[in-house]
Structure 1
Amino acid sequence: MQTPPQRLTLSTVFLLTVPPLLWAGNAVVGRLVRELVSPLTLNFVRWVIAFALLLPLAWAVLRPASPMWAHWKRYALLGLLGIGSYNAFQYLALQTSTPINVTLVGSSVPLWMLATGAIFFGARIGAREIAGSLLSMLGVLLVLCRGEWRQLLGLQLVPGDLYMILGTIAWAFYSWTLARTREPQAVRQDWAAFLMAQMVFGLAWSGVFAAGEWTLTDAYLVPGWPLFAALAFIGIGPAVLAYRCWGSGVQRAGPQAASFFMNLTPLFAALLSAAFLREPPHWYHGAAFALIVGGIVVSSRR
């Protein structure tokens, strides 16, 4: 029997606040090191570190007798869409776009979730969901046109905006695949095993993409303590610790209540960008944040 969601206690709020803070930090750090390491290589090294950290906790899932291998196609797809694609698109986006823009566009995931569900998974969309999606889409458009609606007539997106849109679509497919299929209980009940089952295949996809980057482009990696410190942070914090806190928080509060904490990510990104990148937020960032959150609130009400 599934445990009903509990009231939001201080400890639960803490668990659900840590992940968006770390994910915002991931965007800021990715922007900081864009001249030290190429994006697909950064994604690969990040997950190599996370894999090494997780291995002592979830090594059993890699055994030949593990139930994961009977569902390898599912985990290979999840690894491609989540670890392999979404994170790679995010680091690609940060080459030419700011962390505030990237996280705000990433907050449009509910919009793409509705569209993906309706087109590819047969989900029904009600009037509230449509209204909420329109509000969220207005917020995304406000970011893309930098607060000048007239620019939409001749809108020219920077590559980072397009990459992040592709990343959110990949995450929507990842989420629907996760929701519509089931993994073995032995894997689902253990957060480390569940993450490792995806990571082992996602790491392979990331390695293939990084190899292609070094083969086809002018890939680069500049060793030194700034890069090592950045890799340590994104390998430990956003890749492992955030997933652990998020899983515990969702179990306590339920996915619907927890989903609203995701919208703290662009807020934290704005604060961290102003502190470390000297990229202060503009008025349209606040307006877009309000529209996106408002859209999610409208679509989630019953």
Structure 2
Amino acid sequence: MARYANRSLALAYTGLVLTPLFWAGNAVVARGVVDSIPPVSLAFWRWVIALVVLLPLTFPKVRREWPVVRDHWPRILVLALFSVASFNTLLYVAATTTTAINIALINSTIPIMVALLAFLLLGERTRPIQRLGIAVALAGVLMVIAQGTLGRLISLSFSPGDLFMVAAVISWGIFSVLLRRLSIPLSAMTFLTLQIALGTVLLIPVYLIDLLLVSGGFTLSASSIPPLLYVAIFPGILAYAFWNHGVWAVGPARAAIFMYLVPVFASVLAWLFLGERLGWYHLAGGALILVGLYLTTRNPPAPRNHGA
């Protein structure tokens, strides 16, 4: 039993490391296609593709668990609203009117937001060693974002896009806490399929309004297919599955600390694919983040029994 618990935790932490890697790639792709694919269109078609890929694999299980789905669909709908329908849509919209530095800075407050909401809604407290880990990791994030220069951090200005990012962070924090609080006895893949399906349904009116009155959509081409496939499969299906399991296994506040890795991974990906320079502050900040993660994840609790 102890061996199973250790293996489950190891898988949870591995998934929580891959999640920010995929999300960092999501940010790089979004910035790359912002002039060719409108943000709402990117969000909507991302989830349509993810559902097309996922549904043939999970439909038999969804069908078997349908009585449970029927009883709990309002809860799944609420979770889908704050995750699939809201978070990335708000992030994509934010990317059109604010800088990548500001997005990374605001996104790095997710652990603080989740810890605050977990305390307010669940009464979940952090130990002193965890608070130290949060502080060390946050220092690493700020070092990466500020590129080792205090003046760069102080001189940041805020735009309407920053407000969208704040809304995105709040949305993800609510989702993470509710995911722990709302007990839904479904298998992981059934839950993910319903989460994406209901989130996509919620996005339909938003997409139609944007298509008809705002952006006019985009033209599908050979250059637009790869980024759509990437954001659907990696930061879409895989990252959400990893995050859901990680929150269940280690709790929302501890899982949220791994979001500190997003700006580190984003810096490396930008260096590899966009030719941006990898500076000393990336290495120093990354080291601080890893130390913070170690402090925060020491002596993790044993996972609960899963509903399915």
TM over 0.5: yes
Spell out, residue by residue over 1:15-69, the C-alpha distance to the aligned partner (whole angstroms, 9 max, x if none): 6655443322221111111011111111010000011111112224268943112
Q: Secondary structure at the match of 1:6?
A: helix
Residue identity opposite 2:41 in structure 1: T
Shift of 1:4: 1.0
Identity of aligned residues (%): 33
Q: Aligned partners of 1:68 and 1:179: how far apart in 2?
A: 17
Unpaired stretches in structure 1, ≥5 consecutive residues: none
TM-score when normalising by structure 1 = 0.78
Shift of 1:13: 8.4
Spell out, residue by residue over 1:231-272, the C-alpha distance to the aligned partner (whole angstroms, 9 max, x if none): 122222221244456678x59xx5489877655443332122
2:122 corresponds in structure 1 to: 121
Question: Are the structure 2 counterparts of residues 122 and 211 from structure 1 closer, same or farther at C-alpha, using a change threshold of 3 Å?
Answer: farther
Spell out, residue by residue over 1:68-105, the C-alpha distance to the aligned partner (whole angstroms, 9 max, x if none): 12112211111011111111122223334565764564
| Correspondence 1:78-89 to 2 at 5 A | 78-89=79-90
1:78, 1:177 within 8 Å by CA — same for their partners in 2? yes
Shift of 1:224: 1.5
Question: Are the structure 2 counterparts of residues 114 and 258 from structure 1 closer, same or farther at C-alpha, using a change threshold of 3 Å?
Answer: closer
Q: Secondary structure at the match of 1:59?
A: helix
Q: Aligned partners of 1:8 and 1:65: how far apart in 2?
A: 29
Shift of 1:151: 6.2
1:31, 1:98 within 8 Å by CA — same for their partners in 2? no
2:24 corresponds in structure 1 to: 24
| 1:53 paired to 2:50 | no
Q: Aligned partners of 1:172 and 1:297: how far apart in 2?
A: 22
Q: Aligned partners of 1:260 and 1:153: how far apart in 2?
A: 24
1:51, 1:199 within 8 Å by CA — same for their partners in 2? yes
1:169 corresponds in structure 2 to: 170
1:35 corresponds in structure 2 to: 35
Shift of 1:193: 0.6
- Decide which moves more: 218-227 or 119-128: 119-128
Q: Secondary structure at the match of 2:218?
A: coil
- Alignment RMSD (CA, Å): 3.7
| 1:240 paired to 2:237 | yes
Q: Aligned partners of 1:29 and 1:132: how far apart in 2?
A: 30
1:276 corresponds in structure 2 to: 273
Q: Aligned partners of 2:58 and 2:69: how far apart in 1?
A: 12
Question: Are the structure 2 counterparts of residues 36 and 286 from structure 1 closer, same or farther at C-alpha, using a change threshold of 3 Å?
Answer: same
Pick aligned residue for 1:213 from 205, 210, 214: 210
1:201 corresponds in structure 2 to: 198
Question: Are the structure 2 counterparts of residues 265 and 145 from structure 1 closer, same or farther at C-alpha, using a change threshold of 3 Å?
Answer: closer
Unpaired stretches in structure 2, ≥5 consecutive residues: 300-308
Q: Aligned partners of 1:26 and 1:152: how far apart in 2?
A: 24
2:306 corresponds in structure 1 to: none
Q: Aligned partners of 1:110 and 1:86: how far apart in 2?
A: 15
Q: Aligned partners of 1:102 and 1:154: how far apart in 2?
A: 15
Residue identity opposite 2:208 in structure 1: A
Q: Aligned partners of 1:259 and 1:153: how far apart in 2?
A: 25
Question: Are the structure 2 counterparts of residues 27 and 294 from structure 1 closer, same or farther at C-alpha, using a change threshold of 3 Å?
Answer: same
Q: Aligned partners of 1:203 and 1:246: how far apart in 2?
A: 19
Q: Aligned partners of 2:158 and 2:278: how far apart in 1?
A: 19
1:30, 1:91 within 8 Å by CA — same for their partners in 2? yes
TM-score when normalising by structure 2 = 0.76
2:49, 2:232 within 8 Å by CA — same for their partners in 1? yes
1:230 corresponds in structure 2 to: 227
Question: Are the structure 2 counterparts of residues 293 and 99 from structure 1 closer, same or farther at C-alpha, using a change threshold of 3 Å?
Answer: farther
Q: Aligned partners of 2:66 and 2:297: how far apart in 1?
A: 41
1:108, 1:136 within 8 Å by CA — same for their partners in 2? no
